[in-house]
Homo-oligomer: A and B are copies of this chain.
């Protein structure tokens, strides 16, 4: 009989416990959770605050009793593990209901303590009306504040997943919200031009978005007692009724560290492929660990529910001798921002540059389903790949419809080791309400393959914005489009369908940088010019991507 002790009763911990029981009926399994709840939907918290999920109970996927009955697991809530003695193979516990402490032995220990919201050492963060969001009590406090004090204005610090979800939730609740983001863009997992539509979406919903702006200190506003005065990095101040800190999370490693377990470069618990910490009898999973990134093979800290669940299951398998390797994390993630979805997988341009990985990028803006069928929306899709091998390095998408599907497809393609050329042949569901005969994923496969085989020379905004003397810009859109949507300064306009007859207006000794609205007509023009001996390049993603680069 194996005695398994699990620390943490949510995504990773509960998954490990349930799986362990399914694998073995005779083991003793004890699951410690310092909070009052287990198996709750952290990811649903913002949506209950928003009111989308009306019942708080819907967030509780299991109760301690329910779990214990179903899986014969000794679930001990409100009990905090305070120390691990890996020599003696035992843990110390403090019962938070009565303050008692005791010791429990283990054969195998699973650590899934999660991560904690980062609270920077700024003056005033201990004032009232300041919150972070990690668990149900956090959520309850925010809702309680909203009900009691009816805040008119809220400020969210941090434009990541949780920050954006909170901005939306507060706005939906009719609270005017300011979002402070230190960086030049929200949603760091995607690149700047893919975040641009999010900025517009936020502002379109009345959010006061302040990029490149950090919170420096909080004070009580002198005017109204209940208000907070925020001092910002740009020397401005802001008065607000409620402050949500959402600048990120850090792995909960205090126990592990104290127990002498090895930590990784990024401060997470170091694990091997089998999710064992430096002590082979102690497994660690979820937000508390760091792992190698599937694409870069560099250390990565990717605190997401999917990996936590799968790692918890895998740890249980390996406790019973499976010797399975966790297949690393690609970082596939998605976030709803009002009517938009933004999603990504793999590495982004910022990460690729930082890691010195050579890449090329292409964009398409294709319809989410047949454009003639009602409800089609533009899928703004970006693909990053290795120009030498065609390996898919990353993908990003933003839009109103079909974003999750395209990133899922690309995540599978990436994981399966498909090359950009293979994307051309993917056979995806097509009927007008669902897709197109050539799905956006096929289209981006065509584009990337053409770039790779040299039949489509592309350029990017940077080159257009820094024209050399031997370059010129050609806009192949129709004049009406220029009037309606504007144009890149200095471009010559010859509509695509007149190009063949007006080739004599173009110089053979200059490089012609072509663009249209999304890149498709620009490419068709490029092929004409290239086939006629002109030197040319096409702006990938066209004017639409160029605008998003501003």
Using a CB–CB distance below 8 Å, which chain A residues touch chain B? 11, 21-26, 41, 43-44, 47, 52-53, 58-59, 61, 66, 69-72, 161, 294, 304-310, 327, 329-336, 341, 343, 345, 370, 372-374, 403-405, 407-409, 411-413, 415-418, 422, 424-435, 437-439, 442, 455, 496-497, 500, 523-524, 527-528, 531-532
Contacts and interface: CB of A to CB of B under 8 A. Distances in A.
Contact of A309 (B161, B334, B426, B438): B438
A124 to B, nearest CB: 32
A442 B408 CA distance: 12
Contacts of A23: 455, 527
Given A70-B497, A306-B437, A425-B310, A370 B25 contact: no
B336 A53 contact: no
A531 B370 contact: no
A327 B496 contact: no
Contacts of A438: 306, 309-310
A53 to B, nearest CB: 6
Contacts of A161: 431
- Identical chains in the assembly: 2
Contacts of A305: 430, 437
Contacts of A500: 72
Contacts of A430: 43, 304-306, 332-334
Given A332-B429, A425-B310, A428-B332, A404 B404 contact: no
Contacts of A426: 411-412, 415
A59 B442 CA distance: 22
B434 A59 contact: no
Given A26-B531, A52-B374, A528-B25, A408 B428 contact: yes
Contacts of A345: 427
Contacts of A24: 531
B416 A412 contact: yes
Contact of A407 (B71, B429, B432): B429
B496 A434 contact: no
A102 B430 CA distance: 39
Given A23-B455, A58-B372, A412-B412, 20 more contacts: A23-B527, A25-B531, A26-B531, A43-B430, A43-B431, A44-B373, A47-B432, A53-B374, A304-B430, A306-B438, A310-B424, A330-B427, A334-B434, A334-B435, A336-B433, A341-B433, A403-B429, A404-B435, A411-B426, A412-B416
A310 B355 CA distance: 36
A53 B411 contact: no
A409 B412 contact: yes
A329 B425 CA distance: 9
A435 B332 CA distance: 12
Given A427-B332, A434-B334, A435-B404, A52 B310 contact: no
Contacts of A331: 427
Given A22-B527, A72-B500, A309 B532 contact: no
A223 B544 CA distance: 63
A333 B429 contact: yes
Contacts of A417: 416
A341 to B, nearest CB: 7
A430 B52 CA distance: 17
Contact of A41 (B11, B341, B432): B432
Q: For A310, A373, A426, A427, which residue has the most chain B Cβ atoms within 10 angstroms?
A: A427
Contacts of A47: 373, 432-433
A74 to B, nearest CB: 14
Contacts of A370: 41, 43-44
Contacts of A44: 370, 372-373, 432
16 contacts: A11-B437, A23-B527, A41-B432, A53-B374, A61-B372, A72-B500, A304-B430, A329-B427, A336-B434, A341-B433, A404-B428, A412-B416, A412-B428, A413-B416, A415-B427, A416-B417
A2 to B, nearest CB: 13
A497 to B, nearest CB: 5
Given A345-B427, A428-B306, A373 B52 contact: yes
A429 to B, nearest CB: 4
A330 B427 CA distance: 7
A7 B527 CA distance: 24
Contacts of A408: 405, 408-409, 428-429
A341 B435 CA distance: 13
Given A25-B532, A332-B427, A336-B433, A53 B412 contact: no
Given A70-B496, A409-B412, A427-B345, A373 B53 contact: yes
